[in-house]
Structures are given as C-alpha cells and as structure tokens.
Amino acid sequence: MKEWLGLGARLVTGGVWIYAGAVKLPDPYASVQAVRAYELLPSSLAEAVGYLLPPLEVVVGIALVLGVLTRGAAVVSALLFVAFIVGIASAWARGMEIDCGCFGGGGYDPDARSNYPWEIARDSALLLASCYLVWLRRSRLALDSVLFRRTTMSAVGG
C-alpha cells in the first residue's frame, strides 16, 4: 500500500512542479520580478533564482513523475517547499500584499493576504508528500526500480 501512496505522491507533487515551472518558462523576467517582490534576497541573487527556478521546477517534476532519482528529486522538492513556505509566511508577517508567484504572476495583489493561509497549507501538504518520498524506499511504476535493480552477487570461489 505504501508503494501506491508513493506513486500518488510522486504524480501529484511532480505534476505541480511541472505545471508551476512550465507556466513561468515563457516569461523568465516575470519569475525574476516575483522573486524580487519578496524582498528577501539581494537583487543579483534574486535575479539568478528567478531565472533558474522555472527550469529546476520542471526537471524536479519530470524526475518525480517518471520516478527517476526519486529520493534526490524529493529532497530538492522538500527544500523548495520549505523556502516557499518561509517566503510566503515572511511576506504575510511583514504585511506585504504580493501574489506568491507560484504559478506565474507575482507582484502586488490586493487579495494576497487572504490567499496566504491556503498557499502555506498547500505547500505544507506538498512538503509532507515530498518528505514521504524521501523516506520511502520504492514506489510503484518508477523507473528507479528498472534502472537501479537490486542484484544479489553470488560469491565466486577461487
């Protein structure tokens, strides 16, 4: 049963990452602006993060959906969700009204404060799913099980 839950966690979390990154890829500068809106990173670092984040999200998502290097992809996923939760909570605590930029967009949003609890809850659930995948040894229908099969070596006398 836990392997099937792992499949579900991989598909949902991976699908979210693919979608989140894919909608930002056509306009990378908007992603940079969304990162800058949080006012947490120096400008040059915010720019690098903004440009690198969409392709990283897509790669992590594809790895999770296919079940390739699942544990590593899940670690990266979990770290990204922790960073996003901290960023959203920080914006909320500082009274900022910015779109999270999770699925494109970003910048000023007059309704943002009412969205923060939902965004933190969503990212927390996806963080838990990512942590489950880090913990889980194997999940169903993962390429990891084909690429990294366990083989038992018999001792060769000699």
Give helix then strand counts, H and E, for the chain.
6, 2
Cβ neighbours of residue 86 closer than 8 Å, sequence gap 6 or more: none
Q: Where are the domains of the chain?
A: 2-139
CA–CA separation, 140 vs 106, rounded Å? Answer: 36
Which amino acid would we find at residue 92?
W
Separation between Cα atoms, residue 102 and residue 31, nearest integer Å: 9
C-alpha–C-alpha distance, residues 103 and 108, integer Å: 15
Q: Which residues contact 156 (CB under 8 A, 6 or more apart)?
A: none
Residue with tokens 């959203």: 88
User: Contact, 151 vs 126, CB < 8 A?
Assistant: no
* 154 pLDDT tier (thresholds 50, 70, 90): very low
pLDDT of residue 145: 83
**Residue 58 pLDDT class (50, 70, 90 cuts):** very high
**Tokens of residue 66, six digits:** 């296919």
Q: For 130-141, how does the pLDDT look when each residue is reduced to its tens digit (9 = 90+)?
A: 999 999 978 888
**pLDDT over 90 at 89, yes or no:** yes
Closest C-alpha to 108, from 48, 34, 58, 39: 34
Residue 152: pLDDT above 70? no
pTM, to two decimals: 0.89
Task: Tell me how far apart the alpha carbons of residues 130 and 6 are, in angstroms, rounded to a whole number.
Answer: 9
What pLDDT score was predicted for residue 38?
Answer: 96
